[in-house]
Structure 1
Amino acid sequence: MRNTLSCLVLSLLSLGYCKAQQAPNFGELLDSVLVRDADFKLQQNKNKVTSLDQHKLKDIFLPTLELSGNAGYMNATMHLVSPEINLQPFLNIPEGKYNNNLNISGFSGLAKAEAKMLLYSGGKVQYLSKALQEKKMSEEALLEKTKDEAIAVISRAYDQLALVHQSKKVLDEAKKRLAANRKTADKALGYGLITPYDHKKIELAQASLDAKMVEYEGKKALLLTQLEVLTGIAPERLRLIEPVLVAATPTAAQKTIGDRAEIRALNFGINASDYKIKAEKTWWIPKVQMMASAYYFGLYESRVKTSENVIPAIPSLNYPGRKLDWRPTNLNTFPLLMAGLGFKWELFDGREGKHAIETARIDRESLQIQKEDALRKLTLNKVNNQSAYDIANAQIDLKKKEKDIARDGLVQAEKEFRYGMTKSTQLMEAENDLVNAELDYQNAIFNQRRAAVELMRATQELDIKKLYE
């Protein structure tokens, strides 16, 4: 049992090690880029904020409960003019009036619980909800655009790595040919068939190839660093990538310019502006809400007094009158309950509602202008991309013919060099022509793939499978 468990653990470790040593495919690179791409993550955060706004708008109809209170010292004086207590039926005291100040002081406490619930917003919340929905769809369309841009960036870096990889193969083949020609040149120099100068020409060609190999290593290191920064994948695994550079053949476009993410985003934005205009037009419609509240009020160590008599003087009885001076233990009111419906009807808001409507209309007009401008530019961009793609395909055919001619020329030059019919200068020229033709051919394929990517992006039909099957 112990041996079985040990074998299982070793197998799992071996499997994990092998997986860690596998070269990442393009799909893994793309997923890693999207996880790390700042623009993509920022656009996702914008979508999250819009989703939160939608939830906040839905929650506006939920009841709210607020509890508040305060405590402190209260001292209030009220001036009043009131009739004095009329004792004329009992005593012969003329009726008069008091100019009195009533003072209430003491430590006060107030507590309030209040609940509110919006019942009807005049339709504004409904329109704003639809506007947010359109805004969210607009941001989702922009998220597609940001994703396509990230794909284009990693695709270019990946194809550049493939171009460098293919260039290495071209240089390796050239190095092998030069090594074989170097042996022929050594024999020819020994027999006196060529001069030392001709022999140096081959040495110079080998040195030139060595310099190009150093340049290749520098470009490869730079591209691997770029891929590491973009994806976060360990450089050990990235070095295992051996991409192949082949021409891309995108399928015929099934969509139009109107399917581009930018146009769809602007369409959603225009729809959102329409709903925003409708929402602003509801400013004059009454809003209704339900409310309920409960109060407690207490006055402690209080004193209620007046500045003048509240019971008049009675001269006949030799009574000087009496002021109010009351010291109750405490005064409190609880519960004081209120419940019912309330409404708010803005009959005139200082033209604020009208200004908000005009602002929303201007925003919509701006979006419409942007859409028309984008349609013109994207239409021109599609035509330009189609032309660039056609030219890139023609360049591949041209560079292939140049490569074939250069290869035939090198074969002929090698034969003539072996039989002493030509000098090393012509051989090296033929060798350089073939190397340059092969490198130009690989560059033509690279440019064709870039043109294919932009052509697919022109109608928002970027298909990775067509590029990296």
Structure 2
Amino acid sequence: MRVFYKSLLAFFIVFGMYSPSNAQEVLSKQEAVTQMLANNFGIQFAENQVEIADNNQDILNSGYLPSLTGNAGANYTKDDQDVTFRDGESNSIVGAETTRYNASVNFNYVLFDGLGRFWNYKSLKEEYNLSSLQARETIEITLLQLFTVYYEVARLTENEQVLKQTYGNTQQRLKRAEYSFEYGQVNKLDVFNAEVDMVNDSINLLNTRQLLENAKRDLNVVINTNLDRNFEVDTLVDFTSQIQLENYVNSADANNVSLLQAEKNIIISDYDYKASKAVFLPSIGLTGSYGWNEGNFPVTSFATSSTTTGVSGGVSLRWDLFDGGRGITTTKNAKIQYDNQQLAKEQIKKEVTRDIFNARGNYQNRLEVLDLQTKNISTAKNNFERSSEQYKLGQITSVELRQAQVNLLNAQTSKNLDKYDAKLAELELLQLTGQLLNIEF
């Protein structure tokens, strides 16, 4: 019964339904980025906002085009009339009918409005540029989210391989302990210890596989694809050269998306301030009209019918000499808002500089930790191999061998974690320097 239990457990671990042994598609980093850009809900929303801003900055929304309206109407009256003419004659009509018809096309155009629409139009152009930067920021944030999940899948994939190897080593140790016990070379305690360790290794492997499945679903959400889609990921990590990173850091002021947005907000506030002063200047407009009128009247009128057509035009000037002070208040507030945007930029600049220094320090630290962990794996592997040989010769106990095995497992999984943490730290630094969208993945 014990042999059957162990065989069933080994079969479930190695060939279970969650095993990735079957051939699966490999989702490359570039393909994941492409799918994210095409399908992610947040990015689609940001792109729609850019399209709205593009519509707003069009000439059709500028106020520079004239307005053209058409009017038409018809009136009908029926009444009783008593009329006395100048010669003394009188006339009475019961149910006198009168009909009138009119139609016109009216033209209005503002020649000058105090330069308000000029600055508003320039402001709309900058708001479009600002919305493009906001969309870029959304893409950068989503890209960091994508790689956070992508590298978590990669880390768990590598951990699964390490745990499978650990499980296989423990399984071999159990077989050796059983053979040694049968020949009286060890006591039953070694067999029990190996069985306990094999169960623990199997549990760790199953838990890691479940975490891997969950992480893949998280990645499917980010790229907006089917949740049950299964795939493998690329576990190869390349780091940007230190010289290139230093160049990126030095040019961060000109490329950081938060600083660029702050600059656009300053320009928009400046245009708003200038537009607010249009209230102090006159406005001049052109008007024009082409109209047609027709009327049919009862016999009590001097004319029984009339038809008129004609064109009219004019120039109008309007100057609000004093509006109760609202214009002055609006202008003052616009100037304060402009000053606030200047202060906001200085604050953002200081915060971005701090974040870059912190990100660069974190990145360098994680690279050093990764280097140490890589060396530690070599030491832990040599220690485990020597411990295995000593265990076969009976020079150490199974407990000491297990400790060497655990040390190797911890070193390998820690190295996997540090590798992807270092890469994510690099991506964060690239985002802060404004270069995240300019590199190849």
The answer, yes or no, to whether TM exceeds 0.5 is yes
Alignment of 1:321-340 (within 5 A): 326-327=300-301, 330-340=304-314
Which of the numbers 186, 191, 203 marks the counterpart of 2:183? 191
Larger mean Cα displacement after TM superposition, 359-368 or 406-415: 359-368
Residue pair 1:54, 1:129 contacting (<8 A) in 2 also = yes
Change (3 A) 1:57 1:465: closer
* Deviation by residue 1:82-114 (Cα, 9 ceiling, x = unmatched): xx9899xxxxxxxxxxxxxxxx98444333221
CA distance in 2, matches of 1:246, 1:51: 39
Query: How far apart are residue 297 of structure 1 and its match?
Result: 3.6
Residue of structure 2 in register with 1:137 after alignment:
129
Residue pair 1:193, 1:420 contacting (<8 A) in 2 also = no
1:407 equivalent to 2:407? Answer: no
Residue pair 1:161, 1:243 contacting (<8 A) in 2 also = no
Residue pair 1:114, 1:291 contacting (<8 A) in 2 also = yes
Larger mean Cα displacement after TM superposition, 222-231 or 151-160: 222-231
Larger mean Cα displacement after TM superposition, 445-454 or 391-400: 391-400
Alignment of 1:154-193 (within 5 A): 154-193=146-185
Residue pair 1:295, 1:335 contacting (<8 A) in 2 also = yes
Secondary structure at the residue paired with 2:136?
helix
1:262 equivalent to 2:253? Answer: no
CA distance in 2, matches of 1:464, 1:293: 57
Residue pair 1:68, 1:112 contacting (<8 A) in 2 also = yes
1:204 equivalent to 2:196? Answer: yes
1:292 equivalent to 2:288? Answer: yes
Secondary structure at the residue paired with 1:332?
strand
Q: CA RMSD in A?
A: 2.8
Residue of structure 2 in register with 1:387 after alignment:
361
Residue of structure 1 in register with 2:109 after alignment:
117
Query: How far apart are residue 221 of structure 1 and its match?
Result: 1.1
Which of the numbers 245, 269, 278 marks the counterpart of 1:252? 245
Residue pair 2:295, 2:307 contacting (<8 A) in 1 also = no
Alignment of 1:142-157 (within 5 A): 142-157=134-149
Change (3 A) 1:402 1:205: same
> In terms of Rg, which structure is larger?
1
Query: How far apart are residue 300 of structure 1 and its match?
Result: 3.6
Larger mean Cα displacement after TM superposition, 289-298 or 183-192: 289-298
Secondary structure at the residue paired with 2:68?
strand
Residue of structure 1 in register with 2:419 after alignment:
445
Secondary structure at the residue paired with 2:321?
coil
CA distance in 2, matches of 1:156, 1:297: 73
Change (3 A) 1:112 1:465: closer
1:420 equivalent to 2:394? Answer: yes
Residue of structure 1 in register with 2:8 after alignment:
none
Change (3 A) 1:235 1:105: closer
1:32 counterpart letter in structure 2 = Q
Query: How far apart are residue 211 of structure 1 and its match?
Result: 0.6
Residue of structure 1 in register with 2:72 after alignment:
69
CA distance in 1, matches of 2:439, 2:181: 55
Residue pair 1:107, 1:302 contacting (<8 A) in 2 also = no
Change (3 A) 1:421 1:263: same
Larger mean Cα displacement after TM superposition, 397-406 or 373-382: 397-406
Which of the numbers 353, 356, 361 marks the counterpart of 2:327? 353
1:457 counterpart letter in structure 2 = Q
Residue of structure 1 in register with 2:28 after alignment:
25
CA distance in 1, matches of 2:126, 2:420: 40
* Deviation by residue 1:360-395 (Cα, 9 ceiling, x = unmatched): 223323322321221222121111111211221121
Query: How far apart are residue 166 of structure 1 and its match?
Result: 0.7
Secondary structure at the residue paired with 2:313?
strand
CA distance in 2, matches of 1:268, 1:135: 8
Larger mean Cα displacement after TM superposition, 44-53 or 345-354: 345-354
CA distance in 1, matches of 2:280, 2:438: 53
1:155 counterpart letter in structure 2 = F
Query: How far apart are residue 230 of structure 1 and its match?
Result: 2.0
CA distance in 1, matches of 2:128, 2:297: 60
Secondary structure at the residue paired with 1:265?
helix
CA distance in 1, matches of 2:152, 2:49: 33
- How many residues align structurally? 401
* Deviation by residue 1:128-168 (Cα, 9 ceiling, x = unmatched): 22222222222222222111111111111111111011111
Residue pair 1:294, 1:337 contacting (<8 A) in 2 also = yes
CA distance in 2, matches of 1:264, 1:124: 26
1:189 counterpart letter in structure 2 = F
Residue pair 2:62, 2:121 contacting (<8 A) in 1 also = no
Larger mean Cα displacement after TM superposition, 354-363 or 104-113: 104-113
1:216 equivalent to 2:208? Answer: yes
Residue pair 2:140, 2:431 contacting (<8 A) in 1 also = yes
Secondary structure at the residue paired with 2:26?
coil
Identity %: 18
